[in-house]
Amino acid sequence: MEPSCSRCGLDFRREPGFYLGSIYINYGITALSTMALYGALVLAAGWSAEQALAACLTVAVVMPMWLFRYARAFLLAIDSSVNREPIPGEGAAAGGPLSEAQLTSHRANDGQAGCAMGIALSLVLLFGLVMAAVSLWFVIGPGSAGWQDADPAEMEPAD
């Protein structure tokens, strides 16, 4: 990864462990994509479960490698949208410790970034739950083999 943006000069270097959050973004998108792909292949395209699983396994292996840099960029975008204050020339940029005021400001911004990340991950999980509900609806909902339409003659009261 480049140390900074070639266009705007944004410094991509963060504290150790910062980019671990991108793993969760990458995993969430990959899991939801493979789940949606499996549902589409089995329910809509009529593939067998084995064929769909093979396709989903391929996607689950290849997609995280392709998505890795974009997940890191997304995490950086969330952080940069909240942490708008650059660290001043003195302190960390010069190799010295940050003042208490600088630490307080950046801790507050990190808290906001954490909230933004939590909201983003919650939306990803909510989307996954909706996709699971829709998949279940197709599997066990009306019109599937699991539902039996009642015979209207059986519903009439007996005399």
Region 35-48: mean pLDDT is 90
Whether 8 maps to a domain, the answer reads no
For 72-81, 96-105, 119-128, 137-146, which range has the lowest pLDDT when averaged over its residues? Answer: 96-105
Q: Provide CB contacts within 8 A for 147, sequence distance 6+.
A: 140, 141
Whether 52 maps to a domain, the answer reads yes
Domain that holds residue 78: 25-84+104-139
pLDDT at 37: 92
Whether 29 maps to a domain, the answer reads yes
* Better pLDDT: 18 or 43: 43
Whether 33 maps to a domain, the answer reads yes
Whether 63 maps to a domain, the answer reads yes
For 27-41, 69-83, 96-110, 122-136, which range has the lowest pLDDT when averaged over its residues? Answer: 96-110
- The total of structural domains in the chain comes to 1
**Token digits of residue 78:** 């969330």
pTM: 0.54
Whether 89 maps to a domain, the answer reads no
Over the stretch 100-139, which tens digit does the pLDDT of each residue have? 555 455 555 666 666 677 777 777 778 777 877 777 777 7
Residues constituting the chain: 159
Residue 94 has pLDDT above 50, yes or no: no
Q: Provide CB contacts within 8 A for 55, sequence distance 6+.
A: 37, 41, 47
- Between CA 74 and CA 51 the distance in angstroms is 32
